[in-house]
Copies of this chain bind each other. A is one copy, B any other.
Amino acid sequence: MTQPSPRLTRAEQRRQTEESILAAARQLFAELGYERTTIRAVARTVGVDAGLVMHYFGTKDNLFSRAAELPAAELSGGGEEIVDVLLASLASRLDGEPVASLAVLRSMLTNTDAAERYRAAAEPQLSQITTAIPTEDAELRASLLSAIVHGVIIERYLLRLGRLADASPDQIIELLRPCFQTLATADMPPSTVRPASAD
């Protein structure tokens, strides 16, 4: 051919291969979970040798760590209500297939130290939600909110149960909003409100 040098320098080529491996790993981890994803399968998907994957990432655990790195979703929201922030975050995770999230979620349900890592990553988010709730049981309420988010994602993408699999994100969000409201702001329905007890 006429090009004087290949389009990619050596370093670029390597970076690109690494990236491809990570993408394939993410995909497979999300589809199959940690155990059923083999290094050989990842390599085959990319079209390279399994030894190369080992050479770059050292170990399967390490490959998983790199593939499951979350962009550290910060739940950033300036003066907005926590409910809106949470719902927006959920909405974005309901759009398309959040491969990275699924890789983590699916694998942490079978792999113990994947769960450990995720727990560490989710802890700050949880306490962020907690501080935004003005009741004594704020911690529990925050955990419930988190559980609902996880439940919806798992049911939609992993369990594929019921109508959740093909519902539009907007519809889900709007149905969930009053639910989140009662959990986050502790305003009970009028009939259930208690006569302001101790202090």
Interface residues of A (CB under 8 A from B): 32-36, 105-106, 108-110, 115, 118-119, 122, 126, 137, 139-144, 146-152, 154-156, 158-164, 167, 171-172, 175-179, 181-183, 187-190, 192
Q: How many copies does the complex hold?
A: 2
Contact B161 A146 (CB under 8 A): yes
| A126 to chain B: closest residue by CB | B162
**Chain A interface main SS type:** helix
**Cβ of A126: which chain B residues have Cβ within 8 Å of it?**
161-162
Return A63 CB to nearest CB of chain B, in Å: 17
User: A119: which B residues are within 8 A, CB to CB?
Assistant: 159-161
Interface centre among A115, A161, A177, A192 (most CB of B within 10 A): A161
Q: Which chain B residues lie closer than 8 Å to A32 at the CB level?
A: 110
